[in-house]
Amino acid sequence: MSDMSKAMPTAESVEKMLSAELAQADVILATAQPILRHLLANDEHTLFSDQVIARIRGMMLHLARQLLLGLARDAGIEDCDTYVQEREERLAVELLEDTAFLGHAHALTIEAQLADRLQQRSGIDPVLSPLLQELTASEDQDLAAAAMRCVAAQARFMQNQRRMELPLQELPAELFHTATRLLRTHAGDHAQVAKQLCDRLRDEYDESDRRIGQATRLLMAMGPKARRALAVDHAGLSLFATALSMASEQERDVVILSLGENQCARLALSLRAAGLGQSAVEEQFLYLHPEITLPDGFDAVRAERAAALLAAAASEAAN
């Protein structure tokens, strides 16, 4: 997309170019997970020389520890630490072999890295953005409380990422159920205890309490004013990504990955599908990809056409 400014200034030519770059970006995303899986499974690779690899592996080990420690305690095992240490690596590997788990962990890692980068480069606080600061001081007590919960959840997320941790309760519902199912396959002689533990964990689980659930509820409570969150410098990366996901009708993890390298066409189309005009899209690129110039004629791509291009790419990738 670095050469986008040379495109013909017509809607048709811009759409054709963006579609081609979107297809290329999909290939990059499709090959990323097998490469990550190979690196994570290769003991000879220097895992901790690469922050992304280290964080993903750390998160899977942390999930495995949480599950196994709960099983050991409920089963009355005397030496819980040894029990967990002997089994955590194998369970973590199975989690990593699940494509959905790997993709989610990758997106979380990229999100935290981008948040840190935006703070260093542009002074955008990864936790307390101007919009959240404003909302926490709102006279609407419910809105202020919702904003405070978002701030607390984001602070925990950044801290967890630095520790390479992923709390079980922060998993999306589909991955939460996958994790508990995998625990039961590792229960050995404690199958009944594992079943009871997983049943209890499911009863206690509430997807809406997750960080993303908190952000979604806050944006919905803002009503039409939620559009203000479509400015990364004002909303902060986390709330911006959630708002862009909702406005462009894409999965949030896909939106997060679109903020990274080699995904600029997807990001431009996502912002356009969310209803932003060319000047607003260019402003977001100044923060996220200052080296990229949008093509002449980008404003001729209508929001509904941008949404259609994204939907078509998602459908093709699914098949």
pLDDT in tens, 41-86: 544 333 233 788 889 999 999 999 999 999 999 999 999 999 999 9
- Distance in angstroms (rounded) separating the CA atoms of residues 51 and 211: 23
Q: What is the span of the domain harbouring residue 44?
A: 4-318
What pLDDT was estimated at residue 165? 97
User: What are the tokens at 153?
Assistant: 């959840």
If you average pLDDT over every residue of the chain, what do you get? 88
Q: What is the mean pLDDT of residues 16-36?
A: 64
CA dihedral (284, 286, 289, 290) in degrees, to 10, reads: 170
Residue among 50, 47, 51 at smallest CA distance from 93? 47
In contact, 4 and 293? CB cutoff 8 Å: yes
pLDDT in tens, 151-209: 999 999 999 999 999 999 999 999 999 999 999 998 988 999 999 999 999 999 999 99
Whether 7 shows a pLDDT value over 60: the answer reads no
Letter string b/e over residues 30-48, b meaning 16 or more CB atoms within 10 A of that residue's CB? eebeeebbebbeeeeeeee
Q: Model's pTM, two decimal places?
A: 0.85
Average pLDDT over residues 125-137: 97
pLDDT at 313: 82
CA 252, 253, 256, 260 dihedral sign is negative
Burial of 300: CB neighbours in 10 Å, binned 0-12, 13-18, 19+: middle
Number of domain units in the chain: 1
Confirm if 9 and 295 have CB atoms less than 8 A apart. Answer: yes
Among 4-13, 251-260, 300-309, the least confident range: 4-13
Whether 130 shows a pLDDT value over 80: the answer reads yes
Is pLDDT above 70 for 237?
yes
Distance CA 64, CA 206 (A): 20
Judge whether 303 and 275 are in contact, CB under 8 Å: yes
Residue 217 has pLDDT above 90, yes or no: yes
- Contact yes or no for 99/34 (Cβ under 8 A): no
Question: Which pLDDT does position 314 carry in this prediction?
Answer: 78
Per mean pLDDT, which range of 17-31, 145-159, 242-256 is the poorest?
Answer: 17-31
Higher pLDDT, 4 or 185: 185
Give rounded-to-5 percent helix, strand, coil for the chain.
80, 0, 20
**C-alpha angle 207/209/211, rounded to 5°?**
100
What pLDDT is stored for residue 156 in this prediction? 98
One-letter amino acid for residue 110 of the chain:
I
178, 202 contact by CB (below 8 A) = no
Per-residue pLDDT for 255 more than 80?
yes
Residues 6+ apart with CB under 8 A from 315: none
The residue among 83, 73, 98, 61 whose CA lies nearest residue 200 is: 73
Q: Amino acid letter at 280? A: A
The average pLDDT across 231-260 equals 95
Residue 262's pLDDT band, with cuts at 50, 70 and 90, is confident
With vertex at residue 27, the alpha carbon angle to CA 102 and CA 269, rounded to the nearest 5 degrees, is 95
Separation between Cα atoms, residue 150 and residue 215, nearest integer Å? 6
